Amino acid sequence: MRDRVLKALREAQGPVSGEALGKDLGVSRTMVWKHVKALREQGCPVTSGPLGYSLDREADWLHPMDFPGMEDKIHWFAETPSTMDIARDMAKDGAPHGTLVIAGRQTAGRGRLSRTWHSQEGGLYFTMVLRPALPVAQVHKPVFAASAAMAETLRDAAGVDFRVKWPNDILSGDKKVVGMLSEMHAVGETVEYLNLGVGVNVNNSPGEAGPRAASLKELAGGMFSRRDILRGFLARFHASLEGEDTAEVMSRWRANAGTLGRPVRVETPGRVIEGMALDVDDSGALVVEFPDGTRGLVSHGDCFHR
């Protein structure tokens, strides 16, 4: 019934009274009011005035109905501890490739290396359940495709020169606007699912995450549509993942990278590596030239531009 109330509000040409809505849907006015209240609690922008209820179409709400053709795969939560947890349960229960869990805010958002991802209202927080039919050795393909697709999307949206820091953060200068976290489950040598969580600082103020975090709003001024960013990202990401091979994805990543050709420090558990970042290979490892002129591959770690 809640979805039917929402659908009726979306289709209405102007404000519609609780009584008229109830009559159309065969329920009481009080019942309509209860559903409107529940919708508002989910973050749905329903306003009420002297002529009745109306839906603010311009509001930046991320409801499944705003993603035509994908409604069945989108799961929206106004607030949740972490979209990673919900996506993991869904993936275990067989959720299909492309399932998307989106939250308005997270109370226990997780970052890489057991860090917290501050997830206030105004940011974009989602986890995709992917079943890319890849060998484990190529599981990095969707993650590199995602960071390149997001950098392109944000550059288009905000006109700021966002670049990917190896492996998958997105920065403007030294300010981080996007982080990505992946969790994989494999059966033998094949990826069964890869859950890819993406946090984008859009209209929030991520100051509590530290001086090196910033949002689109802070960097470019003005408010941005999370809905347009997500739509743009999904179109680019799926075109790349499904239309390009791993080598092509890595070339696209290189074209969006800010790390290559720069001195870097990579902190791995037990080892700090310093040198010049030259390239990435097709496995996603960073090719580093050390001060003595030798070269090596770094496959994981926390990378800092120096």
Question: Using CB under 6 A as the criterion, which residues of the chain lie in contact with ligand BTN when the complex forms?
Answer: 82-84, 106, 109-112, 115, 117, 125-127, 169, 179-181, 197-199
Tokens 């860090």 belong to residue: 115
Q: Which is nearer to ligand BTN, 53 or 117 (CB)?
A: 117
Instruction: Give min distance, CB of 37 to ligand BTN, in A.
Output: 28
**Residue 227 tokens, joined:** 């809905």
Instruction: Give min distance, CB of 198 to ligand BTN, in A.
Output: 6
**Residue facing ligand BTN at closest CB distance:** 179
Instruction: Give min distance, CB of 116 to ligand BTN, in A.
Output: 9
Bridge partners, 129 (sequence order): 99, 195
Q: Which is nearer to ligand BTN, 39 or 180 (CB)?
A: 180
Instruction: Give min distance, CB of 110 to ligand BTN, in A.
Output: 4
Instruction: Decide if 106 contacts 116 (C-beta within 8 A).
Output: no
Which amino acid, 29?
Answer: R
Rounded to whole angstroms, the Cα distance separating 94 from 183 reads 15
Q: Comparing C-alpha atoms, which of 117, 48, 114 is closest to residue 80?
A: 117
Rounded to whole angstroms, the Cα distance separating 138 from 187 reads 14
Instruction: Give min distance, CB of 229 to ligand BTN, in A.
Output: 14
Q: Which is nearer to ligand BTN, 21 or 154 (CB)?
A: 154
Instruction: Give min distance, CB of 202 to ligand BTN, in A.
Output: 12
Instruction: Decide if 62 contacts 103 (C-beta within 8 A).
Output: no
Q: Which is nearer to ligand BTN, 105 or 217 (CB)?
A: 105
Helix (H, G, I), strand (E, B) or coil at 174: coil
Q: What are phi and psi of 101, to 5 degrees?
A: -110, 120
Rounded to whole angstroms, the Cα distance separating 306 from 299 reads 19
Q: Which is nearer to ligand BTN, 168 or 240 (CB)?
A: 168
Residues contacting residue 66 through CB under 8 Å, at least 6 positions apart: 227
Q: Which is nearer to ligand BTN, 22 or 167 (CB)?
A: 167
Half-sphere exposure of 1 (CA within 13 A, CB side): 16
Q: Which is nearer to ligand BTN, 83 or 172 (CB)?
A: 83
Rounded to whole angstroms, the Cα distance separating 306 from 304 reads 6
Instruction: Give min distance, CB of 157 to ligand BTN, in A.
Output: 18
Rounded to whole angstroms, the Cα distance separating 306 from 301 reads 15
